[in-house]
Structure 1
Amino acid sequence: MHPTPRDYPEARGGCQCGAVRFTISAGPGATGICHCRMCQRATGNAFAPLYQVPDDRVTWQGQAAEWASSNISCRGFCQACGTPLYMRTDDTYEFMAGCLHPDFPFVPQDQGGIEARLEWLDALPTLPAHTTREKWLAVVVSNQAEED
């Protein structure tokens, strides 16, 4: 990611099962979306929305497992539930925005890896939309940990 850092409030987040939680102290950070093929495969999704912060601002509860996805970075995930949590370089974490508490003011500042951007993303604003409640919440019982 290459957006200009700006100040953000404290952030909290973690995995689905609650085994790994983190707190990021308030301060400069950068937000962006990466469409590169490596991020697509690491997240199992069309792109990775990422919040980048220096590693010295992160406090952990629980421990993420890591896999070296390249010669310059590792991907962190919960070993218990499999939630992708971050990409880490030597002194920086890039957290997956979906792992952050919903009240965090994540607004992407830029997009990278656009050579691999999936064309069908352009159609999203034209598709019919519905809430989760309308379609699934009447029958689904979540096993996810409560959000902090």
Structure 2
Amino acid sequence: MSASADRSGGCQCGAVRYRASGELGYPHLCHCRMCQKAAGNYFLPLAGVLRADFTLTRGEPKWFSSSDLVRRGFCAECGTPLFYDIPEADFINITLGSLDDPQSVEPVAQSNMGTRMRWFDDLDALPVEPEPESSEREDTIASSNHQHPDHDTIQWPHGAAR
């Protein structure tokens, strides 16, 4: 279990935002094929929060039923995966990468290891790209960044009501 805290999060464009109060239960990395496809990645980090401690603070997610038991919530504007939901459960799972401070929640387990990438153990041996000699590219990206900041805003994008 993760320590109890008030956490906010949302999608990349800021159209959908949420707040999770209280404890985040069972933070873990799911390696199942459905989570891989839903995340467009090799695994999906998730943690549960009680529905009573969960609030959408901006927008509404779009939902896709990935099975008869589970639906997945995402932003219809930018596509960010946000939720793994079992509608009958008293909790909803949030994607840990969508938290404003994803570093604050450390996974305690991994699941569905049969579909985990076989080469994960070799990642630390891969060469690391050198830091750029110039920050020109990073400065250009920063000055034209359309991504929602990692904190709640009254409105987004700035100067426009959503």
Taking structure 1 as the reference length, the TM-score comes to 0.87
One-letter amino acid matched to 1:117 = R
* Structure 1 range deviating more: 21-30 or 42-51: 21-30
Q: Please point out which of 63, 68, 76 is paired with 1:66.
A: 63
- Corresponding pairs, count: 143
Task: Say whether the 8 Å CA contact 1:7–1:29 is kept in structure 2.
Answer: no
Counterpart residue number, 1:108: 107
- Superposition CA RMSD, Å: 2.0
Distance of 1:92 and 1:74 partners within structure 2: 13
Distance of 1:95 and 1:103 partners within structure 2: 11
Task: Say whether the 8 Å CA contact 1:8–1:29 is kept in structure 2.
Answer: no
* CA pair 28-121 structure 1, distance change in 2 beyond 3 A: closer
Q: CA deviation at 1:130?
A: 4.8
Task: Say whether the 8 Å CA contact 2:24–2:47 is kept in structure 1.
Answer: no
Distance of 1:48 and 1:28 partners within structure 2: 16
Counterpart residue number, 2:74: 77
**Aligned sequence identity (%):** 35
Q: List aligned pairs for 1:109-128, cutoff 5 A.
A: 109-128=108-127
Distance of 2:37 and 2:148 partners within structure 1: 25
Distance of 2:111 and 2:10 partners within structure 1: 24
Q: Please point out which of 5, 15, 21 is paired with 2:17.
A: 21
Q: CA deviation at 1:146?
A: 1.5
* 1:37 equivalenced with 2:33 (yes/no): yes
Distance of 2:46 and 2:3 partners within structure 1: 15
Distance of 1:145 and 1:17 partners within structure 2: 5
Counterpart residue number, 2:156: none
Specify every segment of 5 or more residues in structure 1 that has no aligned partner in the other structure, as ranges.
none
Specify every segment of 5 or more residues in structure 2 that has no aligned partner in the other structure, as ranges.
152-162
Distance of 1:63 and 1:104 partners within structure 2: 25
Task: Say whether the 8 Å CA contact 2:17–2:59 is kept in structure 1.
Answer: yes
